[in-house]
Amino acid sequence: MTGFSLELTEEQLELREWVHGFARDVVRPAASEWDEREETPWPVIQEAAKIGLYGFESLAELYGDPSGLSLQIANEELFWGDAGIGMALFGTSLAVAGIFAAGTPEQLAEWVPQCFGDEDDPKVAAFCVSEPHAGSDVSGLRTRARYDEAKDEWVLAGQKAWITNGGIANVHVVVASVEPELGARGQAAFVVPPGTKGLEAGRKIKKLGLRASHTADVFLDEVRVPGACLLGGKERLDRRIAKARERAAADANAAAESASGSGAAPAQGREQGQGKAQQAAMATFEVSRPTVGAQALGIARAAYEYALEYAGKREAFGRAIVENQSIAFALADIRTEIEMVRLLIWQAAWMGRNGKTFDAGQGSMSKLRAGELAVSATEKAVQILGGAGYSREHPVERMYRDAKIYTIFEGTSEIQRLVIARAITGRYIR
């Protein structure tokens, strides 16, 4: 028998201590200020760059961990410090991941360094996917990309919504539809270089939480980029489009044959087949969800630890309030959920890193439970502190505001349940 262990490696323990120290000594002291200012915390980003926490090398090391846990550990600790600043630091990684997913080695070498800048002049990057009419439904993108063969340029037109670092980014990675009739199969990703004409940001969005992270709509008005800015190159895109057309034609023929057959039974089989196709399409998103879950877990843990310490010091009716069952049991429930959710995140992260199939939607499970834990844990923390928790004199108020987005972005709780339901039933649940 092989041994089973959840013990972290020496490198992972050192990573956790390193990031925790930065979160404790640099992030937390600055959290309230940047939340109030609602501005990108450039001085904190620069400090992170100076110690090597913000940059391509550190991100590559986190992704390189064969267990898949290092990225989750770093996110939990950083967001334990503050979620707004954490997102300001990790928002760039979304664009970098987009370049890695589709780019050639030459494109990686050219664009990834420009996403981060350097310690003297740090930069951020933006990953532009969501649109006003296409949030959870990424197959419905309206942003278009057409190829101008005479000039070897791609022309992008459309609007992106709720984009982290939108407009202030040095590099924007834009997902657009090349062949709209093919849905998600007809989409491609493009790099929009710094200073490109036609890309403009709308007004900065004033948010409930994550206020230190810049969010804005991005408008693409006939934006022209060189042909080399198509991630993966045109030959690869042409091959992919050709295969997608063949598959679409095959699906259409199968549907026509079923329609001329015996009725209900073929229709049911077709519906189930569509469900499986949708599940396969969602697999890419599943891999990134444990990291989002780790961020939510960091918020929940921070709120729990603050409430636990407060309850041990706050006295009412002649004793510490933690000695009351209602308070102690609430804290016990939160701690139990924290331990459970961390294991779920680690399992999903390990599966994603090692190519294991999410046969029960484990990636969505981790994000779903972590997001809802962040909301419930911060709400209970505010309740335990009472009136003090409702004031800005204590950080649980900010944590409470920051937590809510984790049941909304990167797939709402309802979408996560839909993904899980389709995975476990094999049916196209609506």
Catalytic residue annotation: 410
CB-based contact 191:99 (threshold 8 Å): yes
How deeply is 224 buried, as exposed, middle or buried, from its count of CB atoms within 10 A (0-12, 13-18, 19+)? middle
Tell me phi and psi for residue 128, to 5 degrees.
Answer: -110, 100
Any idea how long the chain is? 430
Q: Distance between CA 99 and CA 113 in Å, rounded?
A: 11
What is the spatial distance between Cα 304 and Cα 377, in angstroms, rounded to a whole number?
A: 7
Cβ neighbour number for residue 147 with a 10 Å cutoff: 15
Closest alpha carbon to 213 in 405, 6, 2:
405
CA angle 360, 365, 371 (to 5 degrees): 170
Distance CA 137, CA 411 (A): 9
Phi then psi for residue 187, to 5 deg, are -100, 160
Asked whether the beta carbons of 112 and 153 are under 8 A apart, the reply is no
Query: Taking Cα atoms as reference points, which of 95, 155, 106, 101 lies closest to residue 129?
Result: 95
Alpha helices in 203-315 (DSSP H): 234-259, 264-281, 283-313
Query: Residue with structure tokens 């844990």?
Result: 377
